[in-house]
Structure 1
């Protein structure tokens, strides 16, 4: 009887140890898995392919499950982040984020760089920036951030100079215009259509693609330098959450060689990974 009791207690002890293992040890890895919801823009198949790769890396390397909430309006993802409907978002560059925080009194911060899509200057009339004649008309987007970006492109192309300490460039901040260029402000979606009416136009890549304009036909491409740093896209979080480990791991899952290869496959050189570039 005593031997039987010893066996029973031994079995009980083993069961307790196994239960403890799964509660506090061996089962911990599974229990510690996190789910992170990211707000992105809908309708972009290339981006879906990129995030599919990132999600696989996040799951396999960090045991993080990524979920996505898609938006159709650029005013929505930051509102969703502030309201807690998503944990992170990935759709905007530094300039848009800074302008949003200022206008809406929010505390959203960038926690990791993703890519930059250089804006380009196109023309049906000249083949080289140097061939743009005196008095030529150049179309630029008329919204604040894209107009500033377009004017910085013209500056880097050597066509104009801007006043010192210019943050958000406008026509009024042009310091020198040696070719007496006429800057025509248009809705960004109309710049591609203006090519037949102007000497050249600064066109965002998405609108160039929609108009079936080969980005390789551009006569000038925005250089990736200190001027263009503000146009680098980012993964963003609420400031209070910026140091959360799982969010940092999402960034790490994005910033990999595998992601870089997928971006190149999806966009060619139209989009450039930005987390490892040196800005001059």
Structure 2
């Protein structure tokens, strides 16, 4: 009888241990391999070239860090920062420092850049004229109407010698034009419309995001923005919520992007229209 009790105790002890082990694997810490490492990144107007670059980054992020990168493509610049602030996406990659600073100021936001991607020297395009000197007096020039990109476009016109702007202005507007010797008519349109209206104006300042899909290139270029120490604000960035700026998962996304492989592919796809901006020294 005593032996039977001992045996029963042993059996129930073994069963108890098995239950604890099963519970551990069912409810205990998730193995590293099963940890959710999916990152959704908001982009705008994803071109075929951008898609190829992101496909390369996605492959490296998966192979090196076990991260699955998903892209959410928005149609215009007004959406991705709202989506990021609301937690609908994890990161976004579509804007430069100036645009982010202006958005944060206007929306009392705290979105934070966590890595540089590239800088795309903005261009003045025309389908009617071959050079700046061919532009007639009274020519109509389209520029983006959002604060940061309009300022950038006006500085392009200033550097091209077409207008003069009030000194010391960071975000220039049409009201800051102090000299317009050629009586240019500045037409403000949404950024995504600058390429679409090019047939209806004499020239247009178009961001690369919209110039590439519109097949605007060297043939239509009559002026290219110079790169110098003032260009930092136009460097494109990957952005996170402030609370996530040091998150290891997102820092690994930056590492997967900022590689020689990405730089080489970008040069192959974009030539001199984009310059990778990590480690870039501006004089």
Q: TM-score, with normalisation over the residues of structure 1?
A: 0.78
In structure 2, the residue matched to 1:240 is: 243
Q: Name which of 153, 172, 178 aligns with 1:150.
A: 153
- The equivalent residue for 2:276 is 273
2:221 aligned to which of 218, 221, 226? 218
- Residue 109 of structure 1 contacts residue 237 of structure 1 at CA under 8 Å; is this kept in 2? yes
Matched residue SS, 2:41: strand
Partner of 1:14: none
Q: Distance in 2 between matches of 1:39 and 1:45?
A: 16
Deviation for aligned residue 1:154 = 1.1
Alignment RMSD = 2.9
Residue 5 of structure 2 corresponds to none
Q: How does 1:144-223 map to 2 (within 5 A)?
A: 144-192=147-195, 195=198, 198-223=201-226
- Could you tell me which residue of structure 2 aligns to residue 252 of structure 1? 255
Give the Cα separation in 2 of the matches to 1:79 and 1:194.
Answer: 27
Partner of 1:268, secondary structure, is helix
- Aligned-partner Cα distance in 2 for 1:42–1:202: 17
Q: Is the 8 A contact 1:112 1:235 kept in 2?
A: yes
Q: How far does residue 234 in structure 1 lie from its aligned partner after superposition? A: 0.8
Structure 1's unaligned 5+ residue stretches are 1-18
Determine whether 1:262 maps to 2:265: yes
Q: How many residues align?
A: 256
In the TM superposition, what is the alpha-carbon distance from 1:193 to its structure 2 partner?
5.7
- The offset of 1:96, in angstroms, is 2.0
Runs (4+) off by over 6 Å: none
8 Å contact kept, 1:123–1:200: yes
1:29-178 residue pairs with structure 2 within 5 A?
30=33, 34-41=37-44, 43-178=46-181
Please give the TM-score of this superposition, normalised by the length of structure 2: 0.77
Gaps of 5+ in 2: 1-20
